[in-house]
Amino acid sequence: MAQNVTNVSQTEEVSSTRRVIAASSVGTLIEWYDFYIFGTLAKIISEQFFPKDNPTAALLATLATFAAGFVIRPFGALFFGRLGDLIGRKYTFLVTLVIMGGSTFAIGLVPGYKTIGFFAPAIVFVLRLLQGLALGGEYGGAATYVAEHSPAGQRGFWTSFIQTTATLGLFLALGVILIVRQTLGVETFSDWGWRIPFLLSALLVGVSVFIRMKMSESPMFVKMKKEGKISANPLAESFKQKDNLKMVLIALLGATAGQGVVWYTGQFYALSFLQNACNVEFVQSNMIISIALLIGTPFFIIFGALSDKIGRKYIMMAGMLVAVIAYRPIYTMMYNEADLKQKTEMVEKTTVEIKEAVKGTDNIITTVTKKTFADGTSYKETKKETIPLDEVKKAELAAAGKLKPETKKETTLPQSIYIKMVGLVLIQVIFVTMVYGPIAAFLVEIFPTRIRYTSMSLPYHIGNGVFGGLVPLISTRLVEATRPAPGLPPADPLAGLWYPILIASVSFVIGMLYISNKTNNMDVE
């Protein structure tokens, strides 16, 4: 009889934890989806809201990309973290979800620059800041909430579901964009169809808010509140008290900084490298990343669960170490597989098509060159020259060096290389799952309940947002530095990897020396 009661109680506990995980994960996934569609559609958004010929709008475009991702996210972490430690986890991450969903939906409604002028980029900029603020508050809340519901000894396993959401959010964003783009066609998508992924957010957020409303507050927070142990000033307690500040620093330098660069390299830099260094065609490059993400996602849970058995530290450190060692060989293989210079061209199949059309005051010459290679690779180069009909204007532009043609290069890989590319990206996603799978459990366990939301959110968002988020900017810059002259290919297309390699190496050494592999029992202190 007593055995039956225990079994029923255990079943109810597992079922309750599952509901908590599902409700928290869906909301966090949608927040990541919202955040990523802006980044993924950056080019179209830039054309719609931030015209290149307006320098202020162009500056806003840069700030919208970087400020929201880097500067605002830690502020969101501080603001909502403090709120979560004062009024509770449930209401705080409900608010972040509504802010994120509302601002994403609103971006889909903002008229373009052509319609309302400078107001368009200004409104989008503010909405993007709100997105960053909300994201800064969401993750810490979800991880803390799930961890505080999880049974001891299984925290790595249960929080790893939250860890899948960032990758699944990116996957969802890529998937929705690809489906809408393929359904409407490229032109309609660029015209107005890009708004659909943003507007869709309202529906997703609505469902998630409904689910989250039904959830109860974290049991640890409730207990702490009952006992009157809530922190009066979580910010001061988190960052002014030496005992806690030293843990914030160890979390940042020994874990989240390295995790951030590995995460961004394995997903965003890989996509950027495929598209820009390897010139792999848009749909194919996105498919390579999407398939690798989908296959790799269960490993978040595998490594999360494994961290309950062998500790968080060694899995995270192993992920950083293998990433540091393997990045250059992996990217060398990716580059070589797509390098046309190493392939045999079937010259008899090469076609060149030239089209000339007058559009307004310009003569537009489009040259499309198609090449086929012996291994099945096909290459398409579209060169578009816009030449003014007015000879004076033409001479002026030529003198200013502004008559350069726009060139678009698209390589379509054959099945065998396509599969290899998926495999090479998948290896990087596995590294991501090693460093990212156990990190939520690691972070929640090193901070006390009364200031957990605040203390864990800041190092996470600085590590992920600043160190990780700067990977595309710094890596692109490092590659550009090896370019002998404008227009010539870079001498070292892999130079961009030095930034994540350096940060992950330092993080590895700090983590190995100073992080404990022991997990604590996370009682209410």
Partner 1 sequence: MSAIKKLFGIVWSLMGIGIVPLVIMQAMKEIAAKPSEENWIFWSIVIVVLMPIIAFSLITFGVFALKGEYDTIE
For residue 247 the two structure tokens come to: 């843990």
Least separation in angstroms between residue 443's CB and partner 1 is: 15
CB nearer partner 1, residue 246 or residue 309 = 246
Nearest alpha carbon to residue 502 among 324, 266, 260, 259: 324
CB nearer partner 1, residue 274 or residue 510 = 510
CB nearer partner 1, residue 70 or residue 161 = 70
Nearest 10 degrees: Cα torsion 41, 44, 48, 51: 110
Please report the DSSP string for 435-484 in residue order. HHTTHHHHHHHHS-GGGHHHHHHHHHHIIIIIIITTHHHHHHHHHHTT-S
Distance CA 477, CA 495 (A): 9
Please name the residue that has the structure tokens 């951030």: 260
Least separation in angstroms between residue 483's CB and partner 1 is: 13
CB nearer partner 1, residue 323 or residue 515 = 515
Q: Is residue 249 classed as helix, strand or coil in its secondary structure?
A: helix
Least separation in angstroms between residue 186's CB and partner 1 is: 28
Residue pair 372/350 in contact by the 8 Å Cβ criterion: yes
Least separation in angstroms between residue 287's CB and partner 1 is: 31
Residue pair 429/163 in contact by the 8 Å Cβ criterion: no
CB nearer partner 1, residue 209 or residue 506 = 506
Least separation in angstroms between residue 62's CB and partner 1 is: 6
Please name the residue that has the structure tokens 């502020």: 75
CB nearer partner 1, residue 429 or residue 515 = 515
| Type of residue numbered 388 | P
CB nearer partner 1, residue 201 or residue 259 = 259
Least separation in angstroms between residue 496's CB and partner 1 is: 14
CB nearer partner 1, residue 176 or residue 470 = 470
CB nearer partner 1, residue 33 or residue 314 = 314
Nearest alpha carbon to residue 257 among 510, 490, 463, 512: 463
Least separation in angstroms between residue 260's CB and partner 1 is: 12
Query: Exposed (0-12), middle (13-18) or buried (19+): which is 302, by Cβ within 10 Å?
Result: middle
Please report the DSSP string for 15-33 in residue order. HHHHHHHHHHHHHHHHHHH
Please report the DSSP string for 282-316 in residue order. HHHHHHHHHHHHHHHTHHHHHHHHHHHHH-HHHHH
Least separation in angstroms between residue 223's CB and partner 1 is: 27
Residue pair 41/197 in contact by the 8 Å Cβ criterion: yes
Least separation in angstroms between residue 472's CB and partner 1 is: 12
Interface residue list for partner 1 (CB under 8 A) = 55, 59, 62, 66, 70-71, 242, 245-246, 249-250, 252-253, 462, 466-467, 470, 473-474, 477, 509-510, 513-516, 518
For residue 370 the two structure tokens come to: 């198609």
Please state, as a whole number, how many other Cβ atoms lie within 10 Å of the Cβ of residue 498: 16
CB nearer partner 1, residue 245 or residue 365 = 245
CB nearer partner 1, residue 23 or residue 497 = 497
DSSP summary character for residue 373? B
Distance CA 373, CA 297 (A): 34
Please name the residue that has the structure tokens 């869709």: 200
DSSP bridge pairs for 407:
383
Please give the span between the terminal C-alpha atoms of the chain, in angstroms, as a whole number. 35
| Type of residue numbered 399 | A
Least separation in angstroms between residue 88's CB and partner 1 is: 30
For residue 509 the two structure tokens come to: 């050494």
Least separation in angstroms between residue 19's CB and partner 1 is: 36
Residues 6+ apart with CB under 8 A from 21: 146, 158, 161, 162
Least separation in angstroms between residue 229's CB and partner 1 is: 24
CB nearer partner 1, residue 62 or residue 351 = 62
